[in-house]
Structure 1
Amino acid sequence: MTSSTHIVQSNGMSRGPLIDSIRPYPEAIRFSLNRMNGTSFWAYSLWRAPDDADLLADIPLSDEYVQCAGTAAAMTVEVRTVDPDGTAHQFTVGKPGADHAAGRTEMIRWDGDRSSTTVHLHEVFTADEAADVFYSYFLTNEVSAPYVLRELDLTMPSPAAEAPADRVRELTFSDDDENEQTWRPSSQDGQQSAADAFWEFVSEHSRDDNASFCIEDDQNSEALLVMLGAQTICRARSEPSTRTEYSIVTNDGTYGTLVQNFVRGGFAALDRHGPWWPDVPSLLRARLRLELDESPLRRTHPRGCVVAWRS
């Protein structure tokens, strides 16, 4: 067994060092990807640990990684890079020899069909195909030729372009103390964005005993509940069918991303920012697994096969 240099993560939560004690690294990656079923196991990420990292003491995150989501039969692969000036770029990976102009696409679904994305046909990978991409990244810390990269738009919109025309709507902010504020879209230049107005509302009313804030979209029967003290966020909708889901928030920046995407595109715009759990018991079980993975016990006794997360 060689010293671990990379970290793998399952479903955006459970993570640990990639090890070769059971299978060589390329086969360990391939084995894991072939277990993806889209329901209990739907996402897998890999990144290089810092050179001086002690993976028995800490499992650090990274702003640069390769990731995939979907099933062993059909998944999307993405790679994220960061420039020296801190600018981040995220790309969907594609196979060579593709023609975007053909316009043919396929929808990749995961998390029990609660999340999805549409990609070009040459951007659909099987587990074995994706394993080659991941191992190449493992060796070189990049995804290079012959693979092709399509950059995704990670930029935050200006207030005037904060939402598509059909999503510009009145929003209501509220808290547990029954404070309430309405944000209305305006064509006037310099209007405060909905996201900025919401965080200003939070700043004005947040206290230790008042740390839950809601954004309601009555027009589309949707809402987002930001629970700052509980490191949790909840999205809900009542049309066309009632659906309430929860997600764990591990850093403050994630709150900002989720709020920004909700005010831009509503409930559906958060699909890719999960995993989302259907009820509180599922959320609590997920939080317990996360806490276990980050505990000293897990650091000193890593999983016997880190890549075999859940079946």
Structure 2
Amino acid sequence: MKDIVFTRRSGWIPNVIREDGQLKLMLGAGADANHDPRTFTFPIEESHLAVIREDLARHLLLWSAVLPLCDAAGTRGELDESAAVALLDPILLAAPAEVDALFQRVRWYEARLIAHGADIDLLERGQVYAAMHAATEQANDKRAQEYHVTRRRAERGVVLGPLDTGILRYTGQYLHGSTIPRRLPDAVDPELLPRVMEVIATAEQACAGMRIGLDPRRGKRGTDKRDWDRMAAAVDAAVRAAHPELVEDAVRTVSFLMCSEAASRARNTPVEDDDDLGGPAGKTALSFTDDKDGEKKWLRDGSRTASAEFWEFVADRYAGNNEVFTIEDEEMGEGIQLHLYADSIARITTVRPGEAGSEPEYRVEYSLVDGIGDYRKLVSAFVSGGCAALEQHGPWMSDHAEFERARRQRNAG
């Protein structure tokens, strides 16, 4: 039989229950192996209950000191009841100086105290009891998060100025630097917002006209890392030059905002818009293949472009062991082979078709490729005008050994 004897309005603060005639403190902490919350109890006396009822500060101090014991119990272990009981008198019944001394010896969760209004300056000076003079029953977890974020930055040697803070709040990156940045003007002090917008305007001007394309090697919604890096570098350089007082965290979040917005635009742009049809002289029928016997036919029926269909084929089929893709015009006897693992391409033309059982003769020429954007140009050029249209995108090397030397030289550089 379990009866609740005392509880506060905030449900997470430990309750006092009576179970089989015994007073116990009950709290939820951690989770079990199935990710369900765990509940712990340990016995207390009537004298402890009296203090818990009347003194919110001591109640919270006890909670912050018991939580590490709950963590130590893990997903299946038992609470160290003796250690928990040993905290009761020193926290609930002892003089303030003895409370402070105890908190110098045991583990405790400062985040819980900060969330409930603890004076941070006093906590950092070791005056834990006095720090709780303005304790609140309602928690402000954001306050605790901001404290720990500030401390982590300080450990890295980062101290934010008002403009740095404004920029991080504007992008939603003040608390969580790994989240996708957004534009949140209402999160910034109105007096500071015009200065923040000057920085954003500098970034927008720096990347005007730049774009981040899709990279099917990274899936249907994957974007080109090289495009991202180029845009980030341009924004970083411009912002640093115009606003040298900004710390690295602020500069990085601005470039992150510009790049993530450009990447989002790329993901929401129809693939056909990234393609060059090349007019009426373009191909009318093509075959796409990969290194794993995958094949897809494309006919110019007006529904989708060859490039769009091809890159979708790559996105669906690309893998670590499937990185070579071919586009072939069987009627014209020509094609291109993309070596996506090596940033290179081969154009293949039929010199002599096979006759009377003989093997056909092909001319194979190789060229280096500068990332997925270059691949897209080459594919569009081939779709538009075949191998002849690729001539301007050379140089093309028919000697494979010469090509391999050029590729190694590029990679070494």
Q: TM-score, normalised by structure 2?
A: 0.31
Q: Which one has the bigger helix percentage?
A: 2
Q: TM-score, normalised by structure 1?
A: 0.41
Over alpha carbons, which structure has the higher Rg?
2
Q: Which one has the bigger strand percentage?
A: 1
